[in-house]
Structure 1
């Protein structure tokens, strides 16, 4: 058992949250190291003169944050370091919770019907190579040719030979990072950016440098300063409203970012998973700087969550590195899923579902504007979420805890933080549940913002 001690006099109400926060700080400060065993619930409760229920709730909160793990018969242990980042969403949906934490497109019965139909057609005329071949160059030439047409819908002209099929955006991110930034080097990204990038960079031995943001995204002067100070190898950027703050970067800002990247000769990894969903947007950064940009898009956020395939468009000079690193980390994208995506792009199903999604999201945003009337928030009509800044005195963790007690889960802003401390905020997914549940969840959120409740009085 660890020898870390806590003074009961430092606990504030709500006690379980105060206890959880102090244990979290002890982990962050290294006073509780990975693998350390925490006191049993009753032992800690007795030592602090609080209830066992309060300790249990504190441990449960820390398990939700990904900091502790409970092992039946053995106890509760420190599981992970803060540097790995925390999940912004619930790992699983428990009970009657309204889950607005996980970023998903709006889905209805028609999506399941389309997939069932596709699987039936696939069973009748499955290409032999999709089931029998190990060789990407045998399986994917036709898929790459169709990918060229899809990328045109995204505003990008690409050669079929420069496209790598991947199992979605995360596989493409991994391949792109491995191909541009060796272990020990630094990668720039938005100060509030992609939550998946944070642990991925840690696992790959990369240092993330969070770059200052304004209403258009990354500030060029801040990126230029980081390039001079950090010897950056790459910039990972989300210019088209997928980033948490719902920012759409202007053409001029994209050009300014490209100029900085060229001046310092760094690669650009452009994450554009919303692809053609966003209308009337500037061209991708990859269209402005094709010689140094690795462009990522996929189908999971715009067409169907289960259609886990995507495209990584690569400059000529980086192509050998990308193909080799994708081989050793993934070998190939799953051929049967790629086959469905190719058929859907060819017959128009994919774009039909994108247009359907665009319409559904605009309806959800109208609902959000109504429910959050009078509350400052950031949104874009084709984004999958709303970014809700909180009052400076409002702790994210307290806001989330109060929302959870009322049956609503949202994503904490700290999970997206790669730079200095940010204004407290939460991300609210608009597509993760039914419209009725969304309305009920937003009603709870609005109430908490407009009339913050008194802290809960827990027995101690």
Structure 2
């Protein structure tokens, strides 16, 4: 049996979720190693002074998260090979919960009406190749040409033949990473970064190195120090409103990162899914170091969640490789999605949707300022999320559990932390719910921040 035990002082209602969160953090940080045996249900219930049912429900959550497996007659063990992907958000829609855990644009009937209109229009005008062709190169040439002007507006100059369409930015990041780094290569990322990076790299056999960051993003000197220690092959960055920290990297920091990349011959993967929302954005890394930057953007976060289309703009020497990786992994993007995106790029709908989103988010951030008041948080008035550091006396797992018990779901920091240890902060979405629900949820969080941390042991 492992020597690690949950801390009863950190248990909060609902206790089974709080207990599962403690085990999750211990597994991700290595305090509970692969193959380690969890305490027997009855023993742990006795030690923590909770019911056996509470322990059973916590273990069930761990199993659903892909972290443990149970063997009849032998007990429950930590799965080998590292933890499965841990989503910081609630996967399913729950009743009576104000869900601020998932980053999504503000959506109304207007977006649905625009999508319906596009589908009706395509019903009469859709090219036969979009439905009948099995060959990507017969479908996407005109779509590549259509997006070049959009990319130019974001500061990225790309030739149509160097642009690849994918089923969203996540798919784009996968093929970019597969192209830029092989098994055993070293990928540098900020110590708090997008939660998919670590598990995806693990699946591909790529080693990840956490690079220190400050309020302006990754520290160039920390990246260079990592390069002196070992051969860093790729660095991945989200300089525009990084997920989850909401950092907008200033241009001088971007230039310094680009210089380190040139000096050590590092490929840059720049993900820019929030960039189109910014009315005033610094130059992208793809403009500062175009010869080594693979640039990724899309429309899911800035227009309509269901428009699953992403774009990869690559230097000449990467374009063919990325196209081949796309063929192997996905074959091609969904043509209907490409048709809608190209239609909207051409008739002004995309500009209108992004502009509406930008203005709506400004109003949402006024609600954030009113509700959270003097709370120290990081946000941008045109961004989709807020990074809220917790006061030193508030335990992150306890805060998340307390918020959930009060009917508010927030994203903990742990899935974003390459160390697996909580950063003492939570991510809040400002677009995932109605404005009044957002206000109500933020008011609840503000009351929890003002209250003294509850360290009583609770059970169900």
TM-score by length of 1: 0.91
Q: What runs of 5+ residues in structure 2 fail to find an aligned partner?
A: none
1:445 to 1:23, Cα distance in 2 relative to 1, 3 A: closer
- Per the alignment, residue 55 of structure 2 pairs with 55
Q: Measured at CA, do residues 410 and 34 of structure 1 come closer, stay the same or move farther in structure 2, by a change above 3 Å? A: farther
Q: Is the 8 A contact 1:384 1:429 kept in 2?
A: yes
Question: 1:146 Cα deviation (Å)?
Answer: 0.3
Query: RMSD of the TM alignment (CA)?
Result: 2.8
Map 1:3-14 onto structure 2 (within 5 A). Answer: 3=1, 11-12=8-9, 14=11
Do 1:54 and 1:458's aligned partners in 2 also have CA atoms closer than 8 Å?
no
Q: Which has the higher contact order (CA 8 A, sep 6+)?
A: 2
Shift of 1:114: 0.7
Q: Give the CA deviation at 1:23.
A: 7.4
Once the two structures are overlaid, the 10-residue window that deviates more, 53-62 or 340-349, is 53-62
> Is 1:363 aligned to residue 363 of structure 2?
yes
Partner of 2:323: 323
Match of 1:183 in 2: 183
Are the structure 2 counterparts of residues 243 and 379 from structure 1 closer, same or farther at C-alpha, using a change threshold of 3 Å? same
Alignment of 1:284-363 (within 5 A): 284-363=284-363
Residues 1:25 and 2:26 aligned together: yes
Cross-structure match for 2:218: 218
Alignment of 1:30-45 (within 5 A): 33=34, 39=40, 45=45
* 1:383-422 matches, cutoff 5 A: 383-418=383-418
1: CA distance, partners of 2:387 / 2:56: 31
C-alpha change, 1:363 and 1:186, in structure 2 (3 Å) is same
Q: 8 Å contact 1:411–1:428 — kept in the other structure?
A: yes
| 300 and 89 in structure 1: CA distance in 2 versus 1, 3 angstrom threshold | same
Alpha-carbon distance in structure 2 between the residues aligned to 1:88 and 1:23: 12
Q: Which residue of 1 aligns with 2:152?
A: 152
- Output the CA distance in 2 between the equivalents of 1:13 and 1:267: 42
CA contact (8 A) 1:209 1:419 kept: no
In structure 1, distance between residues paired with 2:248 and 2:28: 36
Change (3 A) 1:279 1:75: farther
For the residues of structure 2 that align with 1:386 and 1:48, how far apart are their CA atoms?
A: 35
Unaligned runs of 5+ in 1: none
CA gap of 1:14–1:354, structure 2 versus 1, over 3 A, is: same
Q: Distance in 2 between matches of 1:448 and 1:333?
A: 45
Residue deviations 1:211-241 (CA, integer Å, cap 9, x gap):
1111211111111111111211111001111
Task: Write the deviation string for residues 158-197 of structure 1: whole angstroms up to 9, x where unpaired.
Answer: 1101100111101110111011111111111111111111
CA spacing shift, 1:71–1:355, aligned 2, 3 Å: farther
Counterpart in the other structure of 1:130: 130
CA distance, structure 2, for counterparts of residue 301 and residue 64 of structure 1: 27
Deviations 1:116-136 (A, max 9, x none): 111111122221100111112
Instruction: Say which SS state the counterpart of residue 236 (structure 1) adopts.
Output: strand
Deviation at 1:280, TM superposition (A): 1.1
Q: Which residue pairs with 2:241 in the alignment?
A: 241
Residues 24 and 70 (structure 1 numbering): CA distance in 2 closer, same or farther, change over 3 Å?
farther
CA distance in 1, matches of 2:142, 2:304: 22
Q: Secondary structure at the match of 2:210?
A: strand
Taking the aligned partners of 2:419 and 2:37, their CA distance within structure 1 comes to 28
> Cα distance, 1:93 vs. partner?
1.9
Gap change, CA 1:142 and 1:297, over 3 Å in 2? same
For 1:367 and 1:80, how far apart are their aligned partners in 2?
A: 45
* Kept in 2: contact 1:12–1:18 (CA 8 A): no
**CA-CA distance at 1:452 after TM superposition:** 3.4
Distance 1:109 1:68, change over 3 A: farther
Looking at structure 1, the residues matched to 369 and 398 of structure 2 have their Cα atoms a distance apart, in angstroms, of 24
In structure 1, distance between residues paired with 2:387 and 2:291: 33
1:77 offset after TM fit, Å? 6.5
Corresponding pairs, count = 456
